[in-house]
Chain A
Amino acid sequence: MAEQVMGPVTHEGRSPLSLVPKAESKQTMKDFKSDQEVRWCPGCGDYAVLAAVQGFMPDLGLAKENIVFVSGIGCSSRFPYYLNTYGMHSIHGRAPTIATGLAAARRDLSVWVVTGDGDALSIGGNHLIHTLRRNVNLKILLFNNRIYGLTKGQYSPTSEAGKITKSTPMGSLEAPFNPVSLALGAEASFVARTVDSDRKHLTSVLRAAADHPGTALVEIYQNCNIFNDGAFEVLKDKEQAQEAVIRLEHGEPIRFGLPYLEEDGGDGLGAKGVVRDQATGDLRIVDVTEHGTHGILVHDAHAASPITAFALSRLADADTLHHTPIGVLRSVQRPIYEQGMADQLEKAVEQQGKGDLAALLAGRDTWTVVG
C-alpha cells in the first residue's frame, strides 16, 4: 500500500499552523503552567490530561501568546485557568461558538476547545455538530467521564442505559451517544479517541490533532473518581485491556487481544482481528488463530468514505466497552471554514477594490441641495 503522507498540509498546501507565529526560544512544560492552584478532586483524570497538554505544548513550538484555550462549563472546563496561554472559560455548551468566532477572526491563533460529555453533547450538541460540519480550524478535547461531575453525579448523554444516579434512582432510560460515531456523522474531518491514563497515546493523538487542518475532535476517556469511578477500568487494566482495547494505527492491520505467538505459528500481533463481513458489509471480530490473517482490515484513517471509521466506532459495546477502538479513526482533508472566509475577503477586494467608505455611503441615487 502506498504510503500516505499525513503532514499538516491543507487543500491549498498551507499548514494550518503556518500562520501561527513560532516561539522565539525553546519552551518547557513550566512555561505553560499558570500560577493558579488546580482545584480538581484529588485523583481526577483531568490532572493527567492537563499534564499531557502542558507537556506536549512546547513540542508544537508555537508562540504561547498565540495559543488560546476556550472552554464551556463543567469540571474539565476549568482547564484554561491552569494553562498560561490566553483563555476563556465561557458558558455551558457554547465554547465551540466562541472559538469559531475567534478562529475565524484570527487565523494567526491556535485555538483549542476543552469540553465535557455534558457540555459538548447535551447542552452544546448543536454547536458541536455544526462546528465539525464547518471544519473550523479548532482542536476540541472532549473529556468523556460518562457522568455529570460538577453538578454532583447525574447521568450524562454518554452514560450507559440503566445507569443509577441521583436523578435516575431506578436507572436511566436513555441510550447513550457514541461521541466518535456522532462526530463522524457530523462530517468531522478528524476524529480520535484516547484515554486519560495512557500519557503516551494521549500525547500522540493530541499531536496528530494539532497537526490536522480543520476541526479535530479528540474524545478522551477520563475517570471521575468521585461519581463514576472505574468507568473505563476495563480499558486500563492491563489484562482486560488486551481484549477490550483495539489500538488503531494508520496503515496497520487491525489486530488486538493476546499476542498470536510465533511459537504457535502466529505473527506476534493480537490474536483477534477485524474483518468485513461479506454478507452484511459490517465489521466483525475474528479469531486469527482460526481465521488466519486473510481479509484482516488494514486501518486507513485517510479513507475518503467515513463508512469504515463509523463501523469501527460501532464495534465497542456501549455497556461493557469491549472492543473499544482508540487512536485516530479518521483524518481527512477538506476545505477549512476560515480559510474559505479569508479567500472570499481577498477575492472581494480583487473584484470590487478595497472598501471605500465615502463611495459606499454616497451610493448611486443621490441629489444635492445647495445652500
Chain B
Amino acid sequence: MTSQVSSPAGERPSGEKEVRRLDRVIIRFAGDSGDGMQLTGDRFTSETASFGNDLSTLPNFPAEIRAPAGTLPGVSSFQLHFADHDILTPGDAPNVLVAMNPAALKANVGDLPRGAELIINTDEFTKRAMAKVGYDADPLADGSLDGYSVHPVPLTTLTVEALKSYDLSRKDAGRSKNMFALGLLSWMYHRPTESTEQFLRTKFAKKPTLAEANVAAFRAGWNFGETTEDFAVSYEVAPATSAFPPGTYRNISGNLALSYGLIAASQQADLPLFLGSYPITPASDVLHELSKHKNFGIRTFQAEDEVAGIGAALGAAFGGALGVTTTSGPGVALKSEAIGLAVSLELPLLVIDVQRGGPSTGLPTKTEQADLLQAMYGRNGEAPVPIVAPSTPADCFTAALDAARIALTYRTPVFLLSDGYLANGSEPWRIPEVHELPDLRVQFAQGPNHTLDDGTEVFWPYKRDPQTLARPWAVPGTPGLEHRIGGIEKQDGSGNISYDPANHEFMVRTRQAKVDGVAVPDVEVDDPGSGDDGPAKVLVLGWGSTYGPITAAVRRIRREGQHRIAQAHLRYVNPFPANLGEVLARYDKVVVPEMNLGQLASLLRAKYLVDAQSYTQVRGLPFKAEQLADVLKETLTHG
C-alpha cells in the first residue's frame, strides 16, 4: 500500500543535534491539578494526531477541582502513547515523565522503567515542597534518580524570564510554565506547532496579552530545547502510515465520539434528540457537548436530579423524540425505577452509563466496569434491557448508533456502558461519510391495527410486530390512536390494565423474548488456528474498554511465538451473540479479564455452564498490557 500522511510542515530542529528514530513513545505530563496538565496533554495529543501518528491517551486526575497544592492527592497527569504503527493502549510505563513538582515526581516515578527520561521543574523543589510529600532529602541530589536520564529544568524561572517583556506579575507569568514544557516536548519529538499557537490565540481571544504570553512561553520552551546543552538528542516518530486505512482522520475522545454518535443517530432516525441529564463525572461532557449543538434541533434539559433527567427523556420519547439520559453508576441507581417503567411502557430510550469506580461515590474520576450487573439486573421484577458496550474511545460513536438502532427497532430502553477510560481517553478516528451511516428511520403508528369481534377497527398499543415483538409507537397528536400506557401490567394487545395471572406470565416472558431476540452480530474470534503449535486452547474474552489492553497483551504473546491463544471481544452483553455458547465450548480455557470482580464471568458461567476464569482488577486504571500478557502466558503454560 502506498500510503501517505499529510503532515503540516512543522519546524524541524535544525542544529547539530542528534536525531534518533523511535517507533513509539509514552509521555506522561504530571503536575498539580491547577498546573494545566490536562490542557498540556490535550495539545500535545492534537499536535501528534495532526502529525499522523497512531495514539492513545490516558488522562488521570483527582475528583477535587483544586486539591491542596503540592500534595500527592492533588497530582493530575496525562499520559500519551504515540507510534509509527497501530497501537491499542495508552501504554504501560512512560518513557518520559514531565514532573512539575515534587508531588508529581513522587506519585509517578514508580511507574517509570529504568533509563526513562525525567524532565523536572527544579523551581518547585523547595525544602518545604519536598517535605510536604515526604522527601527527607532532595531526590535530585540524593542519587535516588540515578537510574534515570534526568533533565533538571527551572521551568518557572525560564518562563518568567521569557515573559518579562509582558505586563504580567511573576505569578501570572509563571502560570504559563505548562506551555514552556509543551514547547520543549514539542521540540524533543518534532511535533508541528502551528495548531497549538492557533489554539492559544483562540482560547485567549479576549485577552490578547495572555494569548501572546502563552505563545511566547511555548516558543521559549521549543527554543530552549534547541539551544541548551542538556538536551542533546531529539526524536522522530514517523507517521503511522500503514496503520490507517485510507480516509480522513481526527483525534477524538470517547465522550465526544459518544455525543457525535447520538447526534448522528438523531439525524439518521430523523427524530429530534432530547437529552435529560443531571451533571455527574465522568458523563457531564456529553451534556456539555450536546448543549452546543442546538442547531441540530437538540434539546438538552439539565434536570433537578437523575430521576427527573430520565423522566423527561422518557416523556420526550412518548412524544416521539429520541430520548437519551446520560449518567454514571450512582445515577443509574437513581434511575432504576424509571428504566423499569420504560421496560414496561416499551418506549425507545437510551441510558448512557459512563462507569466510574464504585460503590457509592467511589472514585468519580477513575475508570471501572463494575456496573454491568447493575445494568443487567438492577431493577425490580423481570426487566430485561439490552446492553451495548463500546471497546475504544472512537468506537463510542458507532456504539451510540447501535444502541439507538436497538432502542428504536425494539421499542426498549437500551444501556450503553462506556467508562471513564473511554470517556476521557482519545485516539485517531476515521471520520465516516454520512452515507455510510445506518438508516434508523422509524414508522410511527398511523391508524387502527386491530379489528374487534364486532368489526370495529381499533388501535391496540400492545399489539406486537411478529418479527421483532416491538409494539407500535403511537405518538400524541395522531388522531384516533388515543391510548393510555402505564407501569401496571397490561393486557396483551389492548394494553388495558390486567391482573390476570396467565396474562402476566405471558407478558413477562414476551418482554424477555423481545430482548433475547434483539439482532446482534455473531462475536468474531481472532484465532490463529492450528499452526505448528496446534489449535488454540485458550480463549481470552473481554467486553467494553478492556479491548485495547487485552488485544495488546495477546499481540505481545503471539509476537513472542506463542500462537495458541484466541481472542474475542463482546460489544453486546445483552443479549449475547447467538454463537457465543458455541465459541466458548471450543476452548479448553476461557479467561475473562474485567475491571470488576468478575461480573461478565458470572453471566457466562450462569448461562453457558463454562468454567470461565476471571482475571480482575479494580484500581481505577485500565489494565496494563504487560501484566495481562503475563497472566495469559501463565494460563497457557500451566492451565
Provide the A64-86 mask, 1 if CB < 8 A to any CB of B, else 0: 11111010000000001101111
Bound form: Cα–Cα A91–B381 in Å: 14
CB-CB under 8 A for A360 and B263, given A91-B341, A127-B304, A369-B249:
yes
Contact present for B3 and A65 (CB under 8 Å): no
Instruction: Tell me the chain B residues, 1-23 only, with Cβ under 8 Å from chain A.
Output: 1-7
A13 on the B face (CB < 8 A):
no
- Shortest CB–CB separation between residue B146 and chain A, in angstroms? 41
- Decide yes or no: A106 and B319 within 8 Å by CB, A91-B341, A341-B299 being known contacts: yes
**Chain B CB within 8 A of A99 CB:** yes
B-side interface size class: 35 or more
- Which residues of chain A are within 8 angstroms of B297 by Cβ–Cβ distance? 345, 355
Q: Which chain A residue shows the least CB distance to B240?
A: A369
Q: Contact partner of A348 among B50, B249, B294, B323, CB < 8 A?
A: B294
What's the least CB distance linking B340 to chain A, in Å? 8
Nearest-Cβ distance from residue B130 to partner chain A, whole angstroms: 39
Given contacts A105-B321, A370-B4, A371-B246, contact A361 B260 (CB under 8 A): yes
Q: Say yes or no: is A168 at the interface (Cβ < 8 Å to chain B).
A: no
Partner of B5, one of A91, A127, A361, A369: A369
A87 to B434, CA, bound (A): 37
Contact B303 A369 (CB under 8 A): no
Let me know if A97 and B303 touch, CB within 8 A: yes
Task: Pick the contact of B315: A81, A87, A89, A98 (CB < 8 A).
Answer: A98
Q: Which of B149-157, B483-491, B546-554 contacts A (4 or more CB under 8 A)?
A: B483-491
B114 close to chain A: CB less than 8 A: no
- With A89-B484, A94-B307, A106-B476 as given contacts, are A367 and B301 in contact (CB-CB < 8 Å)? no
Q: Kindly state whether residue B390 has any CB partner on chain A within 8 Å.
A: no
B272: A residues at CB distance < 8 A = 105
Closest-by-CB residue of A relative to B241 is: A369
B249 x A88 contact (CB < 8 A): no
| Interface residue? B403 (CB, 8 A) | no
**Does B46 make an interface contact (CB < 8 A)?**
yes
Residue contact A105 to B434, C-beta cutoff 8 Å: no
Of A96, A98, A365, A371, the residue contacting B250 (CB under 8 A) is A365
Quick one: closest A residue to B1, CB to CB?
A: A371
Q: Mark A282-323, 1 if CB is under 8 A from B, else 0.
A: 000000000000000000000000000000000000000000
Give Cα distance in the complex from A63 to B477, angstroms.
8
| Contact of B527 with A by CB under 8 A | no
Chain B: which residue is nearest A97 at the CB level? B311
Chain B residue nearest to A93 in the complex (CB): B307
- Interfacial chain A residues near B310, Cβ < 8 Å: 97
Instruction: Decide if B483 touches A367 in the complex (CB within 8 Å).
Output: no
Within the complex, the shortest CB–CB distance from A118 to chain B, in Å, comes to 16
In the bound complex, CA of A355 to CA of B4 (Å): 32
- A361 & B264 in contact (Cβ 8 Å cutoff): yes
A352 touches B (CB below 8 Å)? yes
* Bound complex: CA A349 to CA B272 (Å): 14
In the assembled complex, the Cα of A70 lies from the Cα of B293 at a distance in Å of 30
Bound CA–CA A104/B276 (angstroms): 11
With beta carbons under 8 angstroms apart, the residue of A67, A91, A126, A365 that contacts B46 is A365
List the B side residues contacting A341 at CB < 8 Å: 299, 301
Give A357 to B296 CA distance when docked, in angstroms.
8
Scan B309-330; emit 1 where CB is below 8 A from any A CB, else 0: 1111111111111010000000
List of A residues within 8 angstroms of B276 by Cβ: 97, 101
In the complex, what residues of B have CB within 8 A of residue A344's CB? Answer: 294
Q: Which residues of A contact B338 (CB under 8 A)?
A: 91, 94
Name A362's closest neighbour in chain B (CB-CB).
B431
* A5 on the B face (CB < 8 A): no
A354 contacts partner chain B, Cβ-Cβ < 8 Å: yes
A89-B485, A101-B312 are known contacts. Are A367 and B7 too (CB-CB below 8 A)?
A: yes
Q: Are A101 and B484 in contact (CB under 8 A)?
A: no
Interface presence of B479 (CB below 8 A): yes
Q: Is B424 interfacial (CB 8 A cutoff)?
A: no
CB distance from B80 to the nearest CB of A (A): 15
Q: How far is the CB of B257 from chain A (nearest CB, A)?
A: 10
Q: Which of the residues A34, A68, A101 comes within 8 Å of B301, measured between beta carbons?
A: A101
Task: Report A-chain residues with C-beta under 8 Å of the C-beta of B482.
Answer: 64-65, 84-87
Inter-chain contacts of A365 with B (CB < 8 A): 46, 49-50, 195, 250-251
CA of A70 to CA of B315, assembled, Å: 9
Taking the nearest CB of chain B, how far is it from the CB of A18, in angstroms? 15
The closest CB in chain A to the CB of B311 belongs to A97
Q: Which of chain B's residues have a CB closer than 8 A to the CB of A211?
A: none
- Residues of chain B in range 263-319 having any CB-CB distance to chain A below 8 Å: 263-264, 267, 272, 274, 276, 293-299, 301, 303-305, 307-319
Question: From residue A159, how far is it (CB to closest CB) to chain B in Å?
Answer: 25
Given contacts A100-B315, A362-B250, contact A87 B484 (CB under 8 A): yes
Chain A residue numbers with a CB within 8 Å of B454 are none
The B-contacting residues of A in range 16-72, CB under 8 angstroms, are: 21, 34, 36, 63-68, 70
Q: Which residues of the partner chain B approach A204 to less than 8 Å between Cβ atoms?
A: none
User: A367, B249: Cβ atoms under 8 Å?
Assistant: yes
B431 touches A102 (CB 8 A): no
Q: Which residues of A contact B455 (CB under 8 A)?
A: none
Residue of A nearest to B244 (CB): A369
Chain A 95-124, CB within 8 Å of chain B: the 1/0 string?
011111111111011000000000000000
B337 contacts chain A at the CB level, 8 A cutoff: yes
Of chain B, the residue at the smallest CB distance from A345 is B294
Contact of A127 among B6, B308, B481 (CB under 8 A): B308
Which one of A36, A84, A104, A351 contacts B299 once the chains associate, using CB atoms below 8 Å? Answer: A104
CB distance from A185 to the nearest CB of B (A): 15
B52 within 8 A of A: yes
Q: Is the CB of A98 within 8 A of B484?
A: no
- Point out the residues of chain B lying under 8 angstroms from A127, CB to CB: 304, 307-308, 311
Known contacts A105-B316, A345-B294; A361 and B432 CB within 8 A of each other? yes
In whole angstroms, what is the CA distance A86 to B345 when docked?
13
A65 touches B481 (CB 8 A): yes
B311 cross-chain contacts in A, Cβ below 8 A: 90, 94, 96-98, 100-101, 127
For B534, the chain A residues whose CB sits under 8 A away are none
Partner of A101, one of B250, B274, B432: B274
Contacts of B303 in A (CB 8 A): 97, 130
Instruction: Determine if A1 is an interface residue (Cβ-Cβ < 8 Å).
Output: no
Contact indicator A101/B50 (Cβ below 8 Å): no
The 8 Å CB contact of B312, one of A97, A109, A366, is: A97
| Distance in Å: Cβ of A259 to nearest Cβ of chain B | 46
Closest 10 CB pairs of A and B: A97-B311, A89-B486, A101-B312, A101-B315, A355-B296, A371-B246, A98-B315, A348-B294, A102-B315, A105-B316
Task: Return 27 A-B CB contacts under 8 Å, by A number.
Answer: A63-B479, A65-B477, A65-B478, A70-B315, A80-B486, A90-B311, A97-B315, A102-B316, A103-B315, A104-B274, A104-B312, A105-B274, A106-B477, A127-B308, A348-B294, A353-B295, A358-B433, A358-B434, A360-B260, A361-B434, A363-B431, A365-B46, A365-B251, A367-B50, A367-B249, A369-B4, A369-B245
Besides A64-B479, A64-B482, A87-B486, 10 other A-B contacts (C-beta < 8 A) = A68-B318, A97-B315, A98-B318, A100-B315, A101-B323, A353-B295, A357-B264, A367-B5, A369-B244, A370-B4
